[in-house]
Amino acid sequence: MNALLTQFVDLLGALLLILAFAMISQRRILSMIHLFTAQGVTLTLATVVVGLVTRQPHLYLSACVTFVLKVLLIPRLLHRAVDRLDIRWETETLINVPTTMLIGILVVIFAFDLSMPISRLSSALASGTLGIALACILVSFLTMITRSKAVPQVVGFLAMENGLFFAATSATYGMPMVVELGVALDVLIGVLILGVFLFQIREQFDSLDIRHLERLKED
């Protein structure tokens, strides 16, 4: 039974990576937010299953926090921001999507190769998931890098945090509760501040393209 649950955690990790890849290939902001919500659901499930296998009740609590924050609250905030900024159909990437995906696969190979010796040393239940989690983080990072607009970058940042959280739960059975709550609060505050930033950027430049931020003074 335990072996099966471990494989289930592996499967959820794989799903997380698939969703990260879907995010890279996505051009619409609304779809990115939907994918982010799906990642939150996957992450909640993974945390519950790890809690089941390792019999650590505090993981259930952290799953609850994840659910409330990443499935309910943050997507809602993002939807509101998108509605108020009226940018549903924004479709700009710096590099075209197929090239980004090719880079993405290289990143995945790099992450897997990097984590191979570490997972061999580790005795955690799902040591293979470390590579998947690392790949998730790097792919989400790539999403951030290749977008020129602010809102997709915020979503990419949040997806990166998802990957980190998955790494923490699957490789070390979760951080201490205090740290976890702190991180959760950080992410929430981060989203709120970034939301304010979005409106400020728009007000200043009449666009959400962050290339405007490269100029330091008005000419």
Partner 1 sequence: MSVTTAGALSQALEIVAAISLAPLLTGWVGQCRAWLQNRSAPSPWQPYRTLHKLFNKESVVAETASQLFRVTPYVVFGCMTLACAIVPTLSTDLPLAPAADAIALVGLFALARVFIALAAMDIGTAFGTMGARREMLVGFLAEPALLMVLFSASLISKSTSLATIVETLAHRDFAIYPGLAFAGVAFTMVSLAENARIPVDNPATHLELTMIHEALVLEYSGRHLALLEWAASLKLFAYSCIGLALFFPWGVAHAQAPLQMLLALPVLALKLAVGGAMLALLETVMAKMRIFRVPEFLATAFLLAVIGMLVHQLLAR
**Binding of partner 1 by 141 (CB under 8 A):** no
**Binding of partner 1 by 25 (CB under 8 A):** yes
The residue among 109 and 213 lying less far from partner 1, judged by its C-beta, is 109
State in angstroms the smallest separation of the CB of 197 from partner 1.
32
Which stretch, 65-73, 78-86, 102-110, 142-150, contacts partner 1 (CB under 8 A)?
A: 102-110
Among 48, 74, 132, 168, binds partner 1 (CB under 8 A): 132
The residue among 132 and 184 lying less far from partner 1, judged by its C-beta, is 132
Tokens of 35: 């994918």
**Binding of partner 1 by 124 (CB under 8 A):** no
State in angstroms the smallest separation of the CB of 172 from partner 1.
19
Query: Considering CB under 8 A, how many residues would be counted as binding partner 1?
Result: 28
The residue among 3 and 178 lying less far from partner 1, judged by its C-beta, is 3
Residues at the interface with partner 1 (CB under 8 A): 3-4, 7-8, 10-11, 13-15, 17-18, 21, 25, 97-98, 101-102, 104-105, 108-109, 112, 115-116, 119, 128, 131-132
